[in-house]
C-alpha cells in the first residue's frame, strides 16, 4: 500500500493497514479500520484527516464494517438547532476479537478451498 492516502499514519499503523488489506479488507476499509484500533471514537472528518481519504470514501469504507458488526456509528449534533450532525465511528469489537474472527474466517476459507482442491484431484486422476 504505497500510497499518499495514509501519509499521516505512523509507520506501525501503515504496516497494519497493509496487512489488513493483504488479509481481506479493501484499501479504504483497511485505512479506516487502522484509525480505530486504539479504541477511540473518531468522527468521519478525523478519519479523513488521518488517512487522506475523502468523506465519501470514509462512508463507503465504514458501511460494510458496520454491516458486519465490526464498527458502530452514530450521529451527534454540536448544537441543538444548527448545523449538520457529526458522524462518529468506533470499533464494536475489541481489535483482538476482530483478529480472532478474521483468523477463523480465513481458516474456514482455506479448509473449504483445500477440500475443493482435493476433490478436483480425485475426479481428475
Q: CB 34: neighbour CB atoms within 10 A?
A: 26
pLDDT tens digits for 3-58?
Answer: 444 457 888 899 999 999 999 899 999 999 999 998 889 999 999 999 999 999 99
Closest CA to 47 of 110, 59, 82, 79: 59
The residue ranking higher by pLDDT, 3 or 125, is 125
Task: Categorize the per-residue pLDDT at 66 as very low, low, confident or very high, splitting at 50, 70 and 90.
Answer: very high
4-92: CATH number: 1.10.10.10
Domain limits, the chain: 4-92, 94-125
- The rounded distance, in Å, linking the Cα atoms of 39 and 20 is 17
Amino acid at each position: 500500500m504505497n500510497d499518499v492516502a495514509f501519509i499521516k499514519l505512523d509507520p506501525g499503523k501503515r504496516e497494519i493497514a497493509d496487512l489488513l488489506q493483504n488479509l481481506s479488507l479493501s484499501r479504504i476499509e483497511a485505512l479506516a479500520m487502522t484509525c480505530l484500533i486504539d479504541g477511540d471514537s473518531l468522527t468521519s472528518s478525523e478519519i479523513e484527516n488521518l488517512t487522506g481519504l475523502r468523506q465519501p470514501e470514509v462512508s463507503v469504507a465504514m458501511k460494510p464494517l458496520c454491516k458486519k458488526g465490526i464498527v458502530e456509528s452514530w450521529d451527534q449534533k454540536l448544537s441543538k438547532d444548527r448545523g449538520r450532525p457529526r458522524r462518529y465511528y468506533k470499533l464494536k469489537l475489541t481489535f483482538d476479537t476482530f483478529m480472532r474472527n478474521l483468523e477463523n474466517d480465513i481458516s474456514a476459507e482455506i479448509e473449504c478451498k483445500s477440500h475443493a482442491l482435493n476433490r478436483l484431484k480425485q475426479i481428475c486422476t
